[in-house]
Amino acid sequence: MSDSALITCLWFDTEAEEAATFYTGIFKDAHLGRIYRHTEAGPGPAGSVMLVEFELNGQKFSALNGGPQHEFSEAVSIVVPCADQAEVDYYWDSLLAGGGRENVCGWLSDKYGLRWQIVPAAFFGMVADADPQRAARVMQAMLGMSKFDIAGLERAYAGA
């Protein structure tokens, strides 16, 4: 990690390598990077995974095995802008696999507790529309959704 790009560090109990492998298996533009292991100096057992570098769609992450002290919360999430319903469905289903939990308005928690927002890119333009009624209808439709339904948003946008 020698360059000056920002890196998001995700704190896990002991699942850093497993989680990084899970995430890089979902995103098409992804790869695992270097794996750092504890030495005899600790603080973990020598040879055990301390940190895993990985990248998703050009965003750099590190996964740290830091212990059970800290858990993910709704205060931080990763937004995945999606081109179409097939992409929304793919990321939604993939990130829920193995024990994730659905939430409302395009949010979910994966099996590690990390929060994700799976959002169609078109949504942002709809809610920023200069016509406040259009934007309000889309917002109201979104509030009734768990996973985004682009056709439903488009009907709300059109006033249908």
What CATH number is associated with residue 30?
A: 3.30.720.100
Q: Which domain CATH number covers 148? A: 3.10.180.10
Average pLDDT over residues 15-23: 98
The Cα diameter of the chain in Å comes to 66
Q: Based on the fold, state whether residues 42 and 111 are members of the same structural domain.
A: no
Residue 4 CA from chain centroid, whole number: 23
| Beta-carbon contacts of residue 31 (< 8 Å; ≥ 6 apart) | 24, 54, 55
Q: Domain end: 41, 70, 99, which one?
A: 70
Residue 147's pLDDT band, with cuts at 50, 70 and 90, is very high
Average pLDDT over residues 89-97: 98
| Beta-carbon contacts of residue 38 (< 8 Å; ≥ 6 apart) | 44, 45, 46, 47, 48, 49, 50
Taking 90 as the threshold, does the pLDDT of residue 52 lie above it? yes
Q: Based on the fold, state whether residues 78 and 151 are members of the same structural domain.
A: yes
Q: What percent of the chain has pLDDT over 70?
A: 98
Taking 70 as the threshold, does the pLDDT of residue 114 lie above it? yes
* pLDDT recorded at residue 160: 87
Tell me the torsion sign for CA atoms 36, 41, 43, 44: positive
Q: Domain end: 35, 52, 70, which one?
A: 70
